[in-house]
Amino acid sequence: MTVKVIGDRATHRIIGCQIVAGENTTGRIDWMTAVIAAGTTAEEFLANGENAYCPPTAMVREPVFAAVEDLVRQFRQ
């Protein structure tokens, strides 16, 4: 799974997301659509985001969280 999250450097709001994978993407796409529509910042997402961990279907390190963490690191540069 490849996840790309796009944010506005001035406001840190998440403004876009691309997810490329074979399966199990619908929930993540819906999740990010709600985040974008709500005007959530990357930092708010990391502090308040929730995703159920279910070993048969979910990864230990959620790819969406990893992508948002990368975005926050880019904001700090």
Residue 57 has what pLDDT? 58
Q: How far is CA 20 from the centre of its chain?
A: 13
State the pLDDT confidence band at 24, using cuts at 50, 70 and 90: confident
Q: What is the pLDDT of residues 7-23, one digit of tens each?
A: 999 999 999 999 998 87
Q: How many domains does the chain have?
A: 1
Residue 25 has what pLDDT? 86
Q: What is the pLDDT of residues 49-63, one digit of tens each?
A: 876 666 655 556 788
Work out the mean pLDDT of the chain and round it to a whole number. Answer: 89
Q: Which domain holds residue 30?
A: 2-76
Q: Residue 60: give its domain's CATH number.
A: 3.30.390.30
